[in-house]
Structures are given as structure tokens and as C-alpha cells.
Amino acid sequence: MTHINLKHGIWVLVADGEKALFLKNKGDTKYPNLEVVREMEQDNPPTREQGSDRPGRYSDGPSIHRSAVDDTDWHRVAKERFADEIAARLYKFAHAGDFREIILVAPPLVLGELRKKLHKEVDERVSAEMAKTLTNHSVADIEAILMAA
């Protein structure tokens, strides 16, 4: 992990599989003041609440033997879709010139998905990354954690 420099005007994305906060530093490096620019949320209940049918089965050919098909992990699919939505939103912000630099903060799985989906224009502006879940922290706590990094 690189050193995190919360300079004036830098953006910070704090995300997980269900929530994303887009923050902008209105303060400076010594006294950051992160303000929420936008918030996105996705209702993503556990897979057991999303799947409806039993997993399917298919025939193995002329015998009477049948094999089960793995059940879809709807929770993971929704997280991947949400990473798509975040990446698309970041591209719109970057294309409009809303930020020149951004710090990405997300759990490792989400960070990995996000990295794959980021547009080149956004990827070039990523100055640091932190593999942590901070979406349930207050903005003041997020500031403190980033300052300590």
C-alpha cells in the first residue's frame, strides 16, 4: 500500500458490495475535511433470500444417472454488478473533470472487481488504494483511518 496523501480536492471512494460513498477533501493535507459528494446503495440480501428454485439437474446421457447444477451465488453476482455501477459512475465524474485524483477504499474482493471494471481514464487518476471495509464508519472515522495510513 502506498502512502495516502489527502491533499485538497482529492476524492476518496469508500465502497463495499452494497454501499459506495464518494467523498471530496475540502480541507488540506494536515486538516482534511471529507464531504460526501454522492452516495450509492444497493439492496443485496444473502443468496439464500434471492434464489427461489432448487438447483437444476441435467442428464448424463443414456444412463439413468442425473447430475446437479451448482446454484448461482446471487449475492456475489449483485456485488459484481454493483462494481460495474460504481465504475460507470466514476467514469462519468472523471470525464466531467470532477476529480483529478482518487483514493479507492474497499474490501479486497470488491477492490479487485472494481479494478477490473475501471475505465482507463479513471485508472490513471487512482493515487492510492486501501483494502479495508470502511462503509459503516463515520466520515470523521474514515478521515482518521486514512490519515493514520
The tens-digit pLDDT sequence of the chain (149 residues) is: 457 889 999 999 999 988 999 999 999 999 999 999 999 997 655 555 655 555 555 556 666 666 666 666 776 777 778 899 999 999 999 999 999 999 999 999 899 999 999 999 999 999 999 999 999 999 999 999 999 98
Consecutive H or E run containing 126: strand 126-131
Helix, strand, coil distribution of the chain in percent, nearest 5: 35, 25, 40
Which domains does the chain carry?
A: 11-42+71-148 (3.30.420.60)
pTM: 0.78
With contact defined as beta carbons under 8 Å apart, do 14 and 24 qualify? no
Length of the chain: 149
34-41 vs 19-25, strand pairing mode? antiparallel
